Amino acid sequence: MTKVVLFVIPIILGTFYVFGRLQRRYTQMMQEAVASANQIATERFSNVRTVRMLVAEKKEQAAYIERMMEIWRISKLEGIARGAMFGGFQFTGYFAMTVVLYYGSSLIGQGLLTYGDLSSFCLYAVFCATSLGNLSNFYTELMKGLGASSRLFELKNRVPAIPLTGGIKAEHLIGEIHFESVAFAYPNREESPIFTDINLKIPAGKITAVVGPSGSGKSTLAQLILRLYDPDQGRITVDGVDLKEYDPSWWRRQIGTVSQEPVLFSTTIWNNIAYGAEKAEEVENGRVQQAAQQSNSLEFIHDFPDGFQTLVGELGSSMLSGGQKQRIAIARALIMNPRILVMDEATSALDATSEYLVRQALSKLLANSHQTVLIIAHRLSTIKHADQIAVLDKGTIVELGTFEDLMRIEDGVFKKLVEKQTIGWREDSF
Ligand SMILES: Nc1ncnc2c1ncn2[C@@H]1O[C@H](COP(=O)(O)OP(=O)(O)OP(=O)(O)O)[C@@H](O)[C@H]1O
């Protein structure tokens, strides 16, 4: 009888093992499916106006249902596996018990076993089976936990390619940036390099405008300056020292950035502007007001009933126009009076009046600027303020000089951009 019981134990343990692994896999699959469904829901709900404008409600509904069906499919697989395990477990247990009872009765018939021995054997076997059942629950929960946490640990153990801190913090930054034979491709598109050989000196305290056809890598240039990526070849130096030697967080704090489509957080205008400072709670009220003034925002902020305490961002973004957002982002970049300014000029989402006000803010800023400024420029009005213009095309700087220098190049890329009105299409309104 003991042999019968010992024979079924490996079968039960084998079932546990197989099901445990399945459970782990299904938990991972379920996590991915739920994350994907949530991603769709969050993205589409936060852009519900675009969905409505493109009459894509049905399409989005179908896409969400598809993700839900995937969750349903995985749940069914998990249910079938769980059912098969418990079914198999029960079947093996009852089968073993039947064999024990049958064999035990025949032994009783032969006078080799008493009723008492058989009942106590059965009782112990049931105790063992119940404990094994409890163990199986524990094991499947453990496997579920392992499946769920493995992705978490994977993320936790990831080491960023560029550390957050560590390196030189220069006391007197002059702010001259030099690209020396820089080649770069985004890590997820190594086969199509953005830059093959960039050589560019961005002089300290001067305004450098970068222009070029759409997709030529103007924003990428700004990302390399911010050290969001490192070049694959060549190097970027700041005041003659390789950028990699500086403390990345310290370096980014020296730079005020305004991106093409700035993001505001779901909090007050005051907090959004002060966010640019290292310790937002220590920023003086006067400094916030000054940054708002410099960016042409003060007037419209005062027009709101709650002034600087007006809620913006995800919760209240509808209250701000594209141009107002852009001007708040300029104020946020200016709050710490950064040594270097990197600006990606807005090309979209601005109506003529907002655009005019943003350009006026930028022009005022650039005209009085003593900072090193790199501006990704789309308009003549901005470009004309520049001390030098770098023209990006096909992975390299093809032309460099002042506006007049570049307009003198026959068949030049810059001249063509101006003539095709890719640059400066609203110059007259300024
Ligand atoms: N994170 C990324 N991963 C992979 N490729 C990217 C990434 N960001 C941009 N690219 C690609 O790099 C190229 C250059 O993009 P970038 O945004 O620097 O161009 P741009 O000159 O600023 O364009 P635009 O004037 O239209 O804003 C484009 O082909 C773009 O598709």
pLDDT in tens, 91-113: 888 888 888 888 888 888 888 88
Q: What gap in Å lies between CA 233 and CA 222, rounded to an integer?
A: 17
Identify whether the C-beta of residue 85 lies closer than 8 Å to the C-beta of residue 5.
Answer: no
Q: What gap in Å lies between CA 354 and CA 346, rounded to an integer?
A: 11
Task: Check pLDDT > 50 for residue 425.
Answer: no
How many A from CA of 394 to the centre of ligand 1?
A: 13
Q: Which helix (H) or strand (E) holds 178?
A: strand 177-184
pLDDT at 171: 87
Residue nearest to atom 11 of ligand 1 (CA): 215
DSSP 244-303: GGB-HHHHHHTEEEE-SS----SSBHHHHHHTTSSSGGG--HHHHHHHHHHTT-HHHHHH
What is the Cα gyration radius of the chain? 34
Is the CB of 189 within 6 Å of ligand 1?
yes
pLDDT at 315: 56
Range in 130-134, 199-203, 358-362 the model is least confident about: 358-362
Residue nearest to atom 17 of ligand 1 (CA): 219
Distances (CA, A) of 346 to 57, 142, 356, 357, 383: 30, 52, 11, 12, 14
- The tokens describing 355, both together, are 């655009």
Is the CB of 210 within 6 Å of ligand 1?
no
Q: Which of 83-87, 110-114, 130-134, 402-406 has the highest mean pLDDT?
A: 402-406
pLDDT at 313: 74
- The tokens describing 186, both together, are 């985004």
Is the CB of 271 within 6 Å of ligand 1?
no
Q: What gap in Å lies between CA 226 and CA 228, rounded to an integer?
A: 6
Please identify which residue in the block is written with the tokens 């026959």. Answer: 410
ipTM surpasses 0.85: yes
Is the CB of 327 within 6 Å of ligand 1?
no
What value does the mean pLDDT take over residues 33-43? Answer: 91
How many A from CA of 186 to the centre of ligand 1?
A: 9
Share above pLDDT 70 across residues of the chain, in percent, rounded to a whole number: 90
pLDDT in tens, 291-330: 888 888 888 899 988 889 988 876 555 578 777 888 888 8
Task: Check pLDDT > 90 for residue 220.
Answer: yes
Is the CB of 223 within 6 Å of ligand 1?
no
How many A from CA of 221 to the centre of ligand 1?
A: 10
User: Binning pLDDT at 50, 70 and 90, where does residue 344 land?
Assistant: confident
Q: Would strands 340-344 and 372-376 be described as parallel, antiparallel, or unpaired? A: parallel
Is the CB of 389 within 6 Å of ligand 1?
no
Backbone dihedral angles phi then psi of residue 258, each to the nearest 5 degrees? -130, 120
Atom of ligand 1 nearest to the CA of 216: 21
Identify whether the C-beta of residue 357 lies closer than 8 Å to the C-beta of residue 327.
Answer: yes
